[in-house]
Amino acid sequence: MTDSTDPKSQEEEVSEAALFESRSDDSGGTADDPLPVEESSPAAPATGRSGRLLSSFALLIALAALTLAGYQFYLQQFTNPLAPVSSRLDSIELEARELAGSVAGIETSQAEALAQFASRQRLEFDADRTALLDSLNQVASQAPPSSREWKVAEVGYLLRIANHRLLMERDVDGALELLSAADQILVELDDFAYYQVRANLTEEIRALELVETSDLPGIYLELEALKRELRQLPLQLPQYLEARRQPDETAEAAGEGFWDGLRREVSDKFRIRRFEGNIKPLLSPEEAVYLELNLRLMLERAQLAALRRQQLVFSESLATAAAWLREYLDQNDESVARAVGELERIAAIRLDQDLPDISGSLSALTAVRRL
């Protein structure tokens, strides 16, 4: 059983039988054979039959081996018929993934390119729009304005100048005149759209009229005139010189005696008086020059304080100047008394007054022009 089923042993037996048969066929005609066999030997037919049987058996064994090999090949190829299809599907899926990746990359690049193109188009559109608006504004500005637009622009200019004069220079009179001029132009326009502007103007004009105005240019010029008069104001004179200036006519007319005349002469030469308080000596010529310079400095300080609306500095400077005039100058002189009175009157002027807000009319006009 084992020998008949093993293909290798069968092939060996077939090859031995064929070799034996070939040797049997060649034994009759070869002279070199050392052991020739006679043709008439009775064992020759039996040997030929056994060789053919062996050949047939070997052929059967070969066919069986071939059939077995074919069966195994059939089992390998057809037991799992979907294996090639599955491998092909895997390869197709891999290719599809690669194709999807490449398509995604292309879509990304295309999206970026589209975004860049859209951004450039947007920038170009904005630039064109800006250029168009600038061109339209230039064309509109080149067109001559109407008389109504000129008047409205003039009203706005007058209101701005009035606010500047009041806030920066505290010029109440100037601001009042400017507001009145603007209101007169609105009256000429006769446009109900500017009703609120005129209402605010009326209130602001009334508020400025209630303010006690101070003529700063007038104050400055008055102080300047006082500075020029300082050289002409007389200093305080000694008492005995005043006595000499007034002759005693009554004594001469009465005809006084010897002793009375002697007593009068002595009393004119020597006089004793009692003074209460601190007594200051008269000024020397050098000190009189310094007094004039100090008075001029105080008046200039008062002028600067008036322009800056500094009430405390203004009042103190004028009060100091008036005190020096009363102390060192001749109070009996009319020009000195007039100078002191002017300084006291100017020092009483109020500079730091509360000013009203006049910006409401300008705001209302700006709101109307924007409509």
- Give the domain extent around 306: 216-247+282-347
Residue 142 belongs to a domain: no
The tokens for 115 are 């975004």
- Which of the four pLDDT bands, split at 50, 70 and 90, describes residue 243? very low
Residue 3 has pLDDT above 50, yes or no: no
3-class SS of residue 235: strand
Residue 319 belongs to a domain: yes
Residues β-bridged to residue 329: 235
Query: Based on the domain organization, do 191 and 120 belong to the same domain?
Result: no
Query: Based on the domain organization, do 220 and 207 belong to the same domain?
Result: no
Query: Based on the domain organization, do 100 and 206 belong to the same domain?
Result: no
Using alpha carbons, list the distances in angstroms from residue 287 to 39, 127, 291, 292, 327: 190, 79, 6, 9, 13
The CA distance from 357 to 350, in Å, is: 19
Residue 126 belongs to a domain: yes
Among residues 257, 236, 258, 261, the alpha carbon closest in space to that of 248 is found at 261
Residue 256 belongs to a domain: no
Residue 274 belongs to a domain: no
| Of the ranges 67-76, 143-152, 193-202, the best mean pLDDT one | 193-202
Q: What is the mean pLDDT of residues 339-350?
A: 89
Query: Based on the domain organization, do 291 and 198 belong to the same domain?
Result: no
Residue 26 belongs to a domain: no
- The string of pLDDT tens digits covering residues 124-182 is 888 888 888 888 777 766 667 678 888 999 999 999 999 998 888 778 888 999 999 99
Query: Based on the domain organization, do 93 and 173 belong to the same domain?
Result: no
pLDDT for 24 equals 46
- 3-state SS of 266-315 is HHHHCCCCCCCCCCCCCCCHHHHHHHHHHHHHHHHHHHHHHHCCCHHHHH
Query: Based on the domain organization, do 127 and 173 belong to the same domain?
Result: no
Residue 239 belongs to a domain: yes
- Is the pTM of the predicted complex or chain greater than 0.85? no
3-class SS of residue 329: strand
The CA distance from 188 to 141, in Å, is: 25
- Which of the four pLDDT bands, split at 50, 70 and 90, describes residue 249? very low
Query: Based on the domain organization, do 242 and 335 belong to the same domain?
Result: yes
pLDDT for 88 equals 75
* Number of domains the chain is built from: 4
Query: Based on the domain organization, do 230 and 332 belong to the same domain?
Result: yes
Among residues 332, 335, 238, the alpha carbon closest in space to that of 283 is found at 238
- Picking from 52, 73, 94, the residue at the C-terminal end of a domain is 73
Query: Based on the domain organization, do 303 and 324 belong to the same domain?
Result: yes
- A 10 A CB-CB count for 321 gives 26
pLDDT for 26 equals 45
Q: Which of 90-104, 246-260, 298-312 has the lowest mean pLDDT?
A: 246-260
Angle at 314 between CA 313 and CA 318, to 5 degrees: 115
CATH of the domain at 179: 1.20.120
Q: Which of 161-175, 193-207, 248-262, 307-321 has the lowest mean pLDDT?
A: 248-262
Query: Based on the domain organization, do 201 and 101 belong to the same domain?
Result: no
Among residues 271, 218, 226, 225, the alpha carbon closest in space to that of 244 is found at 271
Angle at 232 between CA 337 and CA 283, to 5 degrees: 85
Query: Based on the domain organization, do 241 and 320 belong to the same domain?
Result: yes
Query: Based on the domain organization, do 221 and 340 belong to the same domain?
Result: yes
Residues β-bridged to residue 235: 329
Residue 235 has pLDDT above 90, yes or no: no
